[in-house]
Amino acid sequence: MQLKRIAQAKLPTPWGTFTIVGFKELATSKDHVAMVYGDITQQPILTRIHSECLTGDALFSLRCDCGFQLQAALQQIAKTGNGVLLYHRQEGRNIGLLNKIRAYALQDEGLDTVEANHQLGFAADERDFTICADMLKLLNIDQIKLLTNNPEKIRVLEQAGIKIVERIPLEVGENPNNEHYLETKAQKMGHILHLHPLNKDEKS
């Protein structure tokens, strides 16, 4: 077990009142949180793993789909009546905020997100999703319906002993600024996406 459960409290949101549960990573002291809604004892539980994205989640960036996915997932969990969102604090696919900004600069010069990460000396995705499996186990959850477009999350969670009963797509936020970003996710990272080509008026 890589984590310790530390604290919890009520957290009102525009979609309803969640319980926020805080965890500390034992090896690094990095903090992660879970947003829990309703009764999670009846499984499988609707679950979203959301990796930290300051630019998308808090600063409304249109370069990615992260902020859109965060809000859509919280809304869907509340509408369902119960569920969990794991806020996985591995910024920029775990290369860190400043390196993500450096990667943005390389993308401004024409590289895609994978090429930019490689240029900076990182893998395309440096995240460790086994931490998310530990968060679920500390919440006494072992069967989930996972909101994701990323098959890698399913593979890692299942290897860690979490049963994925269903994959539920979460495709939101497509816009002219993130069109190439989403194409790269689909073509180079294996994400399951059904992209809609934007017309000339939308791109202008």
Question: Was 171 annotated as part of a binding site?
Answer: no
State the Cα–Cα distance between residues 73 and 69, nearest whole angstrom. Answer: 6
Question: Was 153 annotated as part of a binding site?
Answer: yes
Question: Was 51 annotated as part of a binding site?
Answer: yes
Question: Was 41 annotated as part of a binding site?
Answer: no
In this structure, the number of other CB atoms found within 10 A of the CB of residue 110 comes to 9
State the Cα–Cα distance between residues 8 and 62, nearest whole angstrom. Answer: 32
Question: Was 61 annotated as part of a binding site?
Answer: no
Are 80 and 45 in contact by the 8 Å Cβ rule? The answer is no
Catalytic residue selected from 102, 127, 142, 201: 127
125 in catalytic set: yes
76 contact partners, CB below 8 Å, separation of at least 6 = 46, 48, 83, 147, 170
102 in catalytic set: no
In this structure, the number of other CB atoms found within 10 A of the CB of residue 116 comes to 24
Question: Was 192 annotated as part of a binding site?
Answer: no
Catalytic residue selected from 57, 65, 125, 134: 125
Question: Was 141 annotated as part of a binding site?
Answer: no
Question: Was 66 annotated as part of a binding site?
Answer: yes
What's 96's DSSP letter? Answer: -
Burial bucket for residue 103 (CB in 10 Å: 0-12, 13-18, 19+): buried
The most distant pair of C-alpha atoms in the chain lies apart, rounded to whole Å, by 51
Question: Was 93 annotated as part of a binding site?
Answer: yes
Question: Was 155 annotated as part of a binding site?
Answer: no
Question: Was 64 annotated as part of a binding site?
Answer: yes
State the Cα–Cα distance between residues 87 and 147, nearest whole angstrom. Answer: 13
Q: What angle do CA 96, 56, 79 make, to 5 degrees?
A: 125
Question: Was 75 annotated as part of a binding site?
Answer: no
Active site residues: 125, 127
Q: Which residues are annotated as a binding site?
A: 48-53, 64, 66, 69, 91-93, 113, 148, 153
Q: Which residues are annotated as a binding site for Zn(2+)?
A: 53, 64, 66
Q: Which residues are annotated as a binding site for GTP?
A: 48-52, 69, 91-93, 113, 148, 153
